[in-house]
Structure 1
Amino acid sequence: MAVAGTLLGDWSGLDVSGQLLRHTASLPAALAFMVPLLGVCYYGVSAADRDPGFGELKRVFQESLIPQMEALPGWGLCLLSLGAGVGEETLFRAFLQTAAIGSIQGAAPALAPAAATAAGVAVTSLGFAALHALTPTYFAFAFGASILFGVEYCACGLQSAALTHWLYDWCALVYILSQWGSSGGGGGKQPSAT
């Protein structure tokens, strides 16, 4: 995704590769933007037995994603998260969000820049959420997370948004596996002896 986002962005004149070189990641910004994401993750995991939306998400995770994630070593989870953070932020923020904002500004030049930016972030976030729509609850969470990543991208740059996305995904995966996985007492399927 990072390669696709960079190539598409550079091809369309958005200078995505230049963005990667000009900006530096901000760990304080990443940690600040992670707080609401981690709060929702903690709530969702702990409330899954009493919240139907998060209960459905737990079931879907346990049936499809967790068995695959449990097969990965710890460094594999880190690399998977890094790939998602860098790849998705490059494609969705540096290419799609930037292009959406530019298109909106071009189509409605009288629109205030802040309104065009907000509309571009919202449109991109709908697409991001649609591609993460395992359940309606996860769609809503992904939409909110994408808004946060989009705002961080505008305020702090691509590297900070990618850092936040990477660290959040890594922390969330480790936590979800510890609570919902087969060894976490979360009701996951136990591996068979055969």
Structure 2
Amino acid sequence: MNKTQFLIMATLFEGGLVVVAYLLGWWMEIDPMASFAWRSEALSLGLLGTFPLLAFFGISYRLPVSGLEKIKRLLIDTLGSLLAASRWYELVYVAALAGVGEEVLFRGVLQPWLESLWGWGPALLISNLLFGLAHSVTPLYTVLAALTGMYLGWLLDVGGERNLLVPIVVHSVYDLAAFIIVVAAYRAERAA
């Protein structure tokens, strides 16, 4: 796969999640963007909320744990060349698209729908087990993605007002930082 194919595939997949969210929302009678509001407080909370994930990523990226090493190797081998070939604004685009697509589906539709059936706690757990399974590239990655999803689901309600902007910002900024780290690791390996 080349960079152009990667960008097209990312657009179709992540953008397709928005379409899926709206179709499911229509079927479940849920507006996927009902809790989205452009507020400076939500943007600030999103930026601040990214730091714990980035700290965990930075620590785990350096730990010599075989499961984490496997994830690191997988990211470098599968995405390294594609991300390294991308311009900065293409990385921003893919990160933002992933943040929007995945959050609109999981936090904009599935979590509220499950809350209407079973309440906040079970909805947070079930929607993020599904989120983890959607990221099932290794067993450990599945668990880490589910835990990250639970954090994003919790952030949906931080600040006293449910706002989808918060997890979208966290998800997008985190993905962008992860992309940059993968590119740096890929380039360092190529240079060595």
Q: TM-score, normalised by structure 1?
A: 0.80
| 1:163 has 2:178 as partner | no
How far is 1:70 from its partner?
A: 1.9
Residue of structure 2 equivalent to 1:18: 34
Deviation string 1:86-119 (CA, Å, 9 cap, x unpaired) is 1100001111111111122xxxxxxxxxxx2011
Residue of structure 2 equivalent to 1:177: 183
How far is 1:30 from its partner?
A: 1.0
Residues 33 and 108 of structure 2 are in contact (CA less than 8 Å); yes or no, is this contact kept in structure 1? no
Deviation string 1:104-160 (CA, Å, 9 cap, x unpaired) is 2xxxxxxxxxxx201101101111111112122211221111011101113341111
CA–CA separation in structure 1 for the residues paired with 2:181 and 2:169:
18
Change (3 A) 1:68 1:189: farther
Residues 53 and 137 of structure 1 are in contact (CA less than 8 Å); yes or no, is this contact kept in structure 2? yes
- Unmatched tracts of structure 1, length 5 or more: 105-115
Count of matched residue pairs: 172
- Unmatched tracts of structure 2, length 5 or more: 1-16
CA–CA separation in structure 2 for the residues paired with 1:11 and 1:133:
26
| Letter of the 1:169 counterpart | D
CA–CA separation in structure 1 for the residues paired with 2:23 and 2:165:
17
Q: TM-score, normalised by structure 2?
A: 0.81
| 1:55 has 2:69 as partner | yes
- After superposition, residues 85-100 of structure 1 pair within 5 angstroms as 85-100=99-114
How far is 1:16 from its partner?
A: 2.2
Change (3 A) 1:71 1:98: same
CA–CA separation in structure 2 for the residues paired with 1:153 and 1:76:
27
Residues 24 and 160 of structure 1 are in contact (CA less than 8 Å); yes or no, is this contact kept in structure 2? no
| 1:34 has 2:40 as partner | no
Deviation string 1:38-57 (CA, Å, 9 cap, x unpaired) is 0111012222xx21111111
CA–CA separation in structure 1 for the residues paired with 2:101 and 2:122:
22
Q: Secondary structure at the match of 1:56?
A: helix
Residues 46 and 166 of structure 2 are in contact (CA less than 8 Å); yes or no, is this contact kept in structure 1? yes
- After superposition, residues 104-115 of structure 1 pair within 5 angstroms as 104=118
- Taking only the aligned residue pairs, the percentage that are identical comes to 24
| Letter of the 1:133 counterpart | S
CA–CA separation in structure 1 for the residues paired with 2:122 and 2:132:
15
Residue of structure 1 equivalent to 2:19: 3
Which piece of structure 1 moves more, 135-144 or 83-92? 135-144
Change (3 A) 1:44 1:19: same
- Provide the aligned C-alpha RMSD in A: 2.0
CA–CA separation in structure 2 for the residues paired with 1:66 and 1:18:
36
Residues 6 and 16 of structure 1 are in contact (CA less than 8 Å); yes or no, is this contact kept in structure 2? yes
Residue of structure 2 equivalent to 1:149: 152
Residues 121 and 150 of structure 1 are in contact (CA less than 8 Å); yes or no, is this contact kept in structure 2? yes
